[in-house]
Structure formats: C-alpha cells, structure tokens
Chains A and B, each alone.
Chain A
Amino acid sequence: MARVPGIRPRRTVWQRLDLVARLAFPVVSAVLLVIASDIPLGLPGAALGPALVLPCVAFWSVFRPVVMPAPAVFALGLLLDLLSGAPLGVGSLGLLTVHAVALRWRRQIARQSFARVWGIVLGLTLLYGAVVYLMTSLLRFAILSPEPLLPQIALTAAVYPALAFGFIRAHRGIAQAMAE
C-alpha cells in the first residue's frame, strides 16, 4: 500500500473494510469469472475462461499492479488449468508471461488511448495463445493445430470493452479509497 505523507485521522473499521474490499476486487472478480465461465450457455467455439481472465490480468497489471500480484496471477492460471483439464501449469505460465510483459511496459501502455490498449490486449492474447500452444505441444509430444487460437482472440476482443468499462470504474474506486 502506498503511503501518502501527511497527518490524517485513523481509519475506522468500516473504512478499512471498504478499502480491503476494493483492493481485493480485481483478484476476487477474476476468480469468479473463471468459475462462471464454465457454466454451459450453449455457446459454441472458443473457451470463455481465458477470454475472461486475460483482460483482468492485463488491465490490472498495467493500471494497478499492486492489486494483481504475481502469485495471484499464478493461482488464476492454475485454476484455469484445473477446470479446463489442460496440463497443469500451462495456463499459469501463459498468464505470468502476459503479466510480466504488461508490467515491463506499463508506463508506456497506460498513456495510450482506450482503442490502442484494446489492441495491445489482443497482442497479449496472441502471446498467451503462443505460450499455451508451445507448452501444450511440448507436454503432449504432438504438433497441435494453431487453429483454435483465432476464435480465442476474437472472443477476447469482443469481451474486453465490457470488462474494461467495469474495471475503469473499480480502478477509480480504489484510487479514491486510497486517497481518503
């Protein structure tokens, strides 16, 4: 937690609870999204799990990395793998790569317009897909078809704006609570 200089009254219990809730929101919402992505809605095609969790990890790694730490990213990937039946660790590695890249260039990315960030998130999805593709091929000793990556990227593209809208509001909420 960043310490702002200056003398201020001690936070009350409710204020602290509120702050904790706001700080926990990104990870908790990502976990719930991963779990909810498995509800059968009769949607054909790509898997919803990565498409929902990837914007979470990318957005928070860029705009407020404190609330999306590396261990949480690792755990999210593991949850994704456990639920999808993929080889364990593959999702973790993919999400951590996205997290690391987003963290490395966060100052440059954060300055871009919404549309540019959208494009960058799609690039990160491609990166995630490439990591998962390579590691799955390696672990299964088979050359897989890269075909399923395309609907995955399209789905992420469709989902990102809706998620980002909610995240931007939550981001302001966190900033407000921290400043108070």
Chain B
Amino acid sequence: MIRLSIQTRQALSRLVLPAAFVSAFVVMLLGKADTVIAEGARVALADALAPAYAALAEPIGTAGAAIREVQALWQMRSENARLREENERLRRWHATALSLEAENARLKAQLAWVPEIAGQFTTARVVADQGGLYARAALLALAPGHSVAKGQVALDERGIVGRVTEVGARSARVLLLTDLNARVPVMLERSGARALLVGTNAARPRLQHWPEGTLPQEGERVVTSAEANAFPAGLPVGTVRFAPNGAAEVELFARLDRLEIVRLFDYGLRGVLPPEVTLRPASPRERR
C-alpha cells in the first residue's frame, strides 16, 4: 500500500465527491455524443442479466398464477354470469362474422386481390420491466441464435406493444408505446384520418397532428398506418379517450402493465428506425 501523509489523504478524500460529480457530467456528454458506446453498455448488461431474470420469472409466474387462481375462485359466480351473457353476444357476432367472411372471400375473388404476406414472428418472454422516471421499456429473454432485429414490431395478444430498439445475443429491449421517444403513425378507423401517436410516459399516449376538420371521436378505434414504412397498416392500437383537460389520448388494447409474452413480427420494414438509432445511417451490427 502507498503510504501518504494525513494531509494528503484528507485532501484526496475531499476530492472524491467533486470527482464523482464531474464523472457524472462526463458520462452524460459521452452518452449524448456517442450513442454506440451507451447502447453497447446497455446491451452487454441486459445480456448478462437476462438469464437471471428469466430464472426468476419462473417462480414469480407460479406465485402470480396461484394468486390469480384464488381470485378467480372468489369471483366465480359473477364471472360465470358475465361469461354466459358475453357468450350469447359473441354467438350472434360469430354468425355475422361467418357471413361477412364468405362475402369478403367472394368479393376478393372478383377483384383479383393480392394478399399481404403475413410476417414471420418470434415469441419471447418479458423478463424485466425497465421503467425509469422518464422511460418505458421491456426486456425480453431470447434463445441464442435468434433472428430478432431492430425495428421489429412487438404485439401482445390484444394489440401493439412497441418496437425493438436494442438487440443482444440473449436479450432484446422493446421501447413501449408509452415511452417519451415513441412515435407511431396511426389511422383513425372511422374517419380514415392519419395522426401521430406520441408517448408521454403516462399510461395513455397522446394523439397529435390529425388533419384539420376531422376531430377524433370518443371511443373510436385507432390502428397503425403504413405511413413512413415503419409499421404495417391495420395493427390494432387502442381506442380514443378524451382526458379531462381536453387532450385526445389513446387507451391501448395491449396490457403494458402486465406484459408476459410478446410476439415480435418481422414485416421487413426498415423505413424509420427506432429513436436510438436515428443518429447514424446503419447499425454497427449490420456493418460488421
């Protein structure tokens, strides 16, 4: 050990805190100037932690399932009545859907319709829910040798969740629709008007930039639009809700607060890359 005088040691110990502050600013500037280093560090950490999170997800999932089971037993009667009523309603819809499907097939046959190619998808488990004060993301555990790439669209069983922003060897990060950086071109289903869905970090992202004269309607369905070639058209997003302050927001179909499994669809769209990579032309992974 190096022997220092008491004075020197005291002077050095007084310098530690300012030095830590300076390094915080340096890291901030570095992270801003070189997003590749920041992203590399994030991916490396996520890859290292993903197996641990995946291992923990198993017992936690079991415990959660047990709690849900007890709740279900508790509410069985009311749930049963509700389901019976819903089943009745769905049966009627089923008949309607069958006749519409037949009609749709007949019309498509007459139009020589070119069907869209269904995207290839990978199913992945959400192992960590990575939110900060001003960030919303989910970490997925993947098997090594996966085919997940940046820009793929993540959906849960109800609707769109977000897009893949970072990909490691064993993990991938999905930027949720609610994140401040998330921007999704959408279409209002009733009027056909285009708008932009902007994440605000709250549970409901905001609608912006709809054309003049077509106000979004309360309860109107919102789907993705193929504008800017970032998303395929027609993926379910949510329904329009007006906040008390008059802002048009979208209540998402996807249950972002209880994500368990998502499907990552590859539609081969490379129009607009996710926010983290817009600063440079191509990702280093592809360049290598």
Contacts and interface: CB of A to CB of B under 8 A. Distances in A.
B31 interface: yes
A83 to B, nearest CB: 6
Contacts of A38: 53, 128-130, 139
B24 A100 contact: no
Contact of B135 (A44, A84, A152): A84
A180 B115 CA distance: 79
A133 to B, nearest CB: 7
Interface of A is mostly: helix
Nearest to B42: A82
A74 B20 contact: yes
B25 A93 contact: yes
B203 interface: yes
Interface stretch (A13-21, A111-119, A135-143, A165-173): A135-143
B24 A89 contact: yes
A74 B24 CA distance: 7
B200 interface: yes
A92 B41 CA distance: 15
Of the listed residues A96, A99, A132, A152, the one surrounded by the most CB atoms of chain B closer than 10 A to its CB is A96
A77 interface: yes
A125 to B, nearest CB: 11
A42 B64 contact: yes
A107 B138 CA distance: 41
Contact of A96 (B20, B42, B175): B20
Main secondary structure of the interface of B (DSSP, over half): helix
B32 interface: yes
Contact of B133 (A71, A77, A92, A133): A133
B38 interface: yes
B27 A92 contact: yes
Interface size grouping (class) on chain B: 35 or more
Interface in A132-180: 132-133, 135-136, 139-140, 142, 144-145, 147-149, 152
Interface in A92-123: 92-93, 96, 99-100, 103
Nearest to A88: B31
Interface of A: 35, 38-44, 47, 49-50, 69-71, 73-74, 77-93, 96, 99-100, 103, 129, 132-133, 135-136, 139-140, 142, 144-145, 147-149, 152
A71 B20 contact: yes
Given A39-B53, A40-B127, A96-B20, A47 B27 contact: no
Given A42-B64, A96-B21, A85 B257 contact: no
Contacts of A89: 24-31
Given A92-B24, A140-B180, A86 B17 contact: no
Contacts of A91: 132
Interface of B: 16-17, 19-21, 23-32, 38, 41-42, 45, 49, 52-53, 56-57, 60, 64, 126-135, 137-139, 173, 175, 179-180, 200-203, 257-260
Contact of A136 (B133, B137, B259): B133
A84 B20 contact: no
B133 A139 contact: no
B25 A144 contact: no
Contacts of A69: 16
Nearest to B27: A89
A40 B21 contact: no
A69 B14 CA distance: 11
Nearest to A74: B20
A87 B28 contact: yes
Nearest to A86: B132
B21 A93 contact: yes
A144 B16 CA distance: 32
A71 B180 contact: no
A149 B133 contact: yes
Contact of A81 (B132, B138, B260): B132
A147 B24 contact: no
Nearest to B255: A42
Contact of B134 (A41, A77, A148): A148
A135 B64 contact: no
